[in-house]
Structures are given as C-alpha cells and as structure tokens.
Amino acid sequence: MVTYQPGKEKRSICMIRIVDSLAEITRYQDRELLERSLVTTLSELFIDAEFRLYRVMMTEGILELALLAYASKGAIVSEARPRQRHLPPELFEAISDAIISKVVIERRIDESSLINIIYPVYNQRDEIYGVLLHATAQPSFETQRLTYGLLRIYSNYLALLEDSQRDKLTNVFNRETLDAEITKRIISFTQHTHQNHNSIRRRDDEGYYWLCLLDVDHFKNVNDTWGHLYGDEVLILLARLLEAIFRKEDPVFRYGGEEFVVIFRTFHLDDAQSVVERARKSIEKHSFPGVGQVTVSIGAVQIFDQDSATNVVDQADKALYYAKTHGRNCSHFYAELLAAGLIEKSQVQLYTSSVDFF
C-alpha cells in the first residue's frame, strides 16, 4: 500500500519550481535579459517580496548604483535607470557596508515593515559587479539561501557569457556584440522621444549616447619595425588605457585589427568633444614600452534614431576617414563634418549593402 506524504509532495513541487527557474535564467544570451530574468524568477518564487538588481560603479572614487531590473509579484516593475538618485541614505550606507564587508546584510530602514536584505555580487575576478536588494516582511534562512544560490549561478553564467563576448587578445568586447549594444541605445532614444512632454527634460537629465571609432595611426609601421609581438602588445595596452580613460559603464570594443569602438554617455556635443579629445591626448602622451609614442585618429557620432547599428558605425567611419586623411592624430564628429559640407551623408542601405560590418 502507498502512503500519501504531503510534505514530500510539497518538496517535489518546490524542487520542480527551482529547476524551472534555473532553466529560465540560463536560457538567455543577452546580459540585460538575463538580469531581468533573474529578478523576475526570484519574484515569482517569493511572491510577497520585491527584488532590485543594481550595477555597482565607482566614479572618481564615489560609489554609484545603476538600476538594472526591478520586479515585484512576479513581474518587471520598471525599466533600468542610468543612475539611482532616490535611495534613502541609510539604505545606501548599508549597501556600502555590504560591498566593503563582502557579506549579506539585513537592514530595516526607518519604521518600515519591510526588511532589506543586501547581497553583494562579485565576478570571477572577485571584483564587485552588482548588488541585489531583497525587500521582504518575513525573511527566512531558506529564502536567503536559495536567493544566494541563484545569485551564484547567475554570476557564474554571466562570467561564461562575458567570456564568449570578449576579444581573445585584448579582453575588451568583441565586434559581434557591438551591433546589439548600439541597437539597444537606438531603441532607448526612440522610447524617450515618444514619451510624454517631460521626455525632453528626462533626456537632458540622463544625457545622450555617443560612439567613437578609434584607429591606431601607422600601425603597419609598428608591426614592420618592431614585429607583431610588439604590435599585439600595443593593442593590449591601448585596450587597458581606454578602459582607464573611460568610465566603467562605457563599453570598449575591439572592432577589428587596430580599430576600437567606445560607447559613452554625456550631455551635449561640447561634452562629447571634450571626452573624445581627452582620450586622444591621453593616448598621445602615453609611452608604450619598446615602441614609444602611439597616436590615434577618431571619428565620432551621436546615437539617436538612425535606421540601424550599421548606419551608426558607417557615420563614425566617415568621420574617422576624414581624420585619417587630414593629418591623423585628431578627432572629428560626423554631424559637424556633414553640416560643413566636408563629407557626404551616409547612404547605408539595409540588406543590400555590399559591406559586411558584422
């Protein structure tokens, strides 16, 4: 005779839900979808709790948080924000404590009925990557342990995903990831533009995205004079230099050969020009071991409502070509060159172009 065991059935159902959750989290190849899936899955498992995932950034020694995903009652509540400006000071301090101590921290803010559980998230190099904020009225050891376990799986899978998106020589993002990153920013611009009348102010508050395409001047001479090993070393050091010049949230890509791409955010054209010129001058002043001075030419463009990612890159490439043919070691912006009549308008045609960028 088979004896009914309700407790055993409940555990089996719970295990099935956990396995389904793991399958859901790891089915995505896109980092943003992975992050949304993580917080949504946690919210479905613990329906009375709220989950927020933040990216941790250090800007000039100051801790900043960017909201990646926020879920409640099993659904995404809001889209990601470039900066988090409205966290209570006590909660922000608790997040800082969790990051410094590298341990999970519980903190009740003011007289709120919710307890905030803060989980710091680290990458494979033991560098702080993000913070998960879990707000619940009834914290339990089982809930925390399962959440922590899912976070470890997320962190490990994210590491595998990022490895597949990295250039093998320089370890910056590879060309295959660039198209998707540009497309996301075109969509973001379009969504803001078509929102209500406050959208212009919000866009001014958050800034605009810009893309700069950098090419090492006379790189063939480096390879011919010192050899390909020194040429590879220049590319590796240049990648590290770009990561140091730009902010942590500004992705750097190796576009191909001696060309790199950086996507960054700033407010106006003057600001973008200052950023690009600062990068160019920093590279010019840097001494590369065995080679000495290396310079770059830069073409830049604002990412707004272009037809495609290919069109964005083509516009930057036209500005870069102008820089390469007008002295090198300089930077030019596509919009300014176009307005001055110095270049022709980009005419990239989707699906019919003979040029394969990606």
What residues are labeled active site? 258
From CA 43, how far away is CA 53, in angstroms rounded? 12
Torsion of the alpha carbons at 77, 79, 83 and 85, rounded to the nearest 10:
-30
From CA 249, how far away is CA 247, in angstroms rounded? 5
Q: What's CA 87's distance to the chain center, in Å?
A: 22
Q: What's CA 167's distance to the chain center, in Å?
A: 16
**Paired tokens of 32:** 């943003």
Q: Give the number of other Cβ atoms within 10 Å of residue 258's Cβ.
A: 21
DSSP 250-299: S-EEEEETTEEEEEEEESSHHHHHHHHHHHHHHHHHPEETTTEE--EEEE
Q: Are the beta carbons of 26 and 46 closer than 8 angstroms?
A: no
